Structure 1
Amino acid sequence: MKVSGSGRERRERLNALREAALHRPVLARHLSDGFNGRWSRRQWVQASLFATLGMLVAAIVPGFGPGTDVRPLHVARHSMALTLPPLPLARIRGENGDSWQLVRVSRGQTLGSVFQQLDIPAATMQRILQHPGSKEVLTRLKPGTELGFDLPVQAGKAGELRTFRFDRDDSHRVELSLAGDKIVEKVIVRPTESRTVVISGEVGKSLYRSARKLGLNGGHIDTLTDEIFKYDIDFNEDVGAKDRFSVVVEQTWREGELIRTGPVLAATFTTGAKLHTGFRFERNGKPEYFTGEGRPLKKSFIRMPIPYARLTSGFGTRRHPVLGRTRMHKGVDYAAGTGTPIMAAGDARVKFVGWKGGYGRAVMLDHGRGYTTLYGHMSRFGKFKAGQRIAQGSVIGYVGSSGMSTGPHLHYEFQVNGVHRNPLSITMPPAEPLSGTALAQFRSQTRVALARIEKVEDIIYADVSPAPSKLVAAAKPARTAKNRG
């Protein structure tokens, strides 16, 4: 039997494929038992399994599949139509309330300058000032005062003020609507809240800077240094960085905003291990500061009516520079430039104002209890008149060279029951302390203030000596056999 060429070639190809399959590690042991040109069922199942595995690998492992294209997953989005609130008719028509402009008054600014800045006619301002209760407030504007102007936004109506608002006081806001020739007033009540707080801190590098950071203003700091502790603490020499202070003040809040801080009600200052205290109390309708025992912190007299002046002539016998003869010099002379302010040495009633012979322009003050002072050679007087009561430190005049004088200076005399005394050496009378009902009221107030300070300092200065818990004991007056009962 002859085999054709084509059959022979096919047989040779099958034998070659069989040999190649026998050398494969996976299939060799299954096909080594001989191959007769036809695959068994088992071989077809195994081949299908390997083909399936290959396809799975190509599909799962990146890079095996042809032209792998990874696209982001698209998330279905939904939209919802919401109805917007309609514009108010006032805004559509350009009526009242569509354009409030707020202005805070600057230092030195007047109501007229504010109206001019907004191009509002002066006649409109005069109408507002003529409205009852407006002039008293608007002619005494303080820096920071807020004013509101409702002006139209439509073209051609610039300067047409429709509503003007201002604060009559802390609790009431006034809105004035200008409708034709009429002004309609609306008063809005704005409730306020008062809080008594304690502000406490250390002096640090600067008392002023530390106190300002804590919320005290310049007036509060001046009260500490120039009124309460002026006579007991030298703030240039005695105060260190670790010294501490506490101040009690009353704050006024409105709608969550601090709008005003009142005067210092009480204060403590610790220098080293020494505690100083001061408390505000009104005596005869006038606020003063007292020690814990009820003694005034302010001395009855200041020795120098001119700060930082130079003494040129003392008290006693001397040769008069103008008359040229020896005579008694009944006062002391302080040299200063013309126009330097002269202060009243103590609380007093003005006894004399005018020209007084060789003294030139002079002022005499009656301090009560037999004490009087005289100030001579002034260039001009302060704003007061005879019979008027003035406080210690008030400016009563200005240095000059009127009368018998060789140059600008102040001649200052101090008399006790009509007898001239040396103001530089005399023992000044102590200020009159509180007594009776006033003292009892004062002590009840000081206990409350000290308790507040003590509570705050117990928290802030828990590890500092002296212990803050000793504040009340340090400020309480010593009990004597007379007042124990």
Structure 2
Amino acid sequence: MCVFSRKHTPERYQAKHLNLKLAQVSIKAHATNLNFWRDEIVQPGDNISMVLSRFNISSEEIQQIIGLKIIKDKVKHLQVNQVFSIRMDNDGHLTNIQFFNDDDNGEKNLVALKKVGNSWNADVSAVDTETLTTFKAVVVKTSARGALAQASIPVEIRESLREIFKDKIDVNTLQSGDTIRLIYDSLYYRGQELSTGDIRAAEFSHNGKLYQAYYYDTGNDGNGQYYDAHGKPLRKGFSSVPVEGARISSPFGTRFHPILQTLRMHSGIDYAVASGTPIHAPSDGTVESFGIKGGYGNAVVLRHNDSMQTLYGHMSAFANLSIGQHVRAGEIIGYVGSTGVSTGPHLHYEVRINGQPVNPTSVALPTRTLNTRELADFRQKQQHWNEQLASIRNLSVTIAQLD
């Protein structure tokens, strides 16, 4: 047997110095878009000057702003916790200011200011609003209250949610691992969320059981109510309405005034009805207050339980009332009028849950049973919302998605 062997010689590497001429690198600078909105929350005791000063706006410009006619005539005071927004351009100069002014009449009007050149004026350009559907899926870790707040769900939606399911399940009893999914409308103006609309669909999973609610508007007039998965009324509501036979002339929520070119947030519903028409308590309650109440004029506030109050504004006269008096459903508490800030006789009716105005038609007014035609239409809308909800039922984390 022959054996051949070869001596392995490592390769040798040599360093060389090279000079290479590279093409010139051209870097184009892109202007950074610094145009953005900033928000400031109104604190107790704040006025416009104090809020603006926290944006580091010069005292000279602040004086120019508060000297505007719209500010002097319309803005008497700011509401604690309301959002005050400003917009800056790419050079860091203030260009826009907007906030809602509460007229103490169950209505808030958008104040929009715009700077052109060196002058400030009311912005009367076309109000460009967009309603978007907001979807939230929440997993309860410790408490439903905390989970909803951490998911940045607005307080009015949280309170409405609790009230909608009140006759079926107490939201506060949800436990770790339970889930909440809901779809609601949000109104945007210039890219900012100004307000929320109605909850369109919602569901809870608790102890293996699914609780569902769907919004359905029989008249397509913004006065819808809530039904379960079978199309049955989810809530009993109050036993009656404050005034019989009256139509709702102004619904709850945000609307655009075509003449004044302004956005208005209405915290109740208005009934168009003749002056002197009796106003009845729609449910048992206790008289919490009555008398002159700012823009509401003559007003009565009833408390129905630990969380719910109702308010009745613009009355011409009160019934024989006393503070703490118990009133029964159907009992007359006053008469329709036009006191306070009012353009004509009507009843302004508000429902508040833990101090937060919610849509009276969805939580307080008697919920009507759907007829055959309405039930078929309800089924179609229910199918649409179910498809949206089904896509994330198995998620184990909290998400927020805008469609």
Q: TM-score, normalising length from structure 1?
A: 0.42
Structure holding more helix per residue? 1
Larger Rg: 1
Q: TM-score, normalising length from structure 2?
A: 0.49
Structure holding more strand per residue? 2
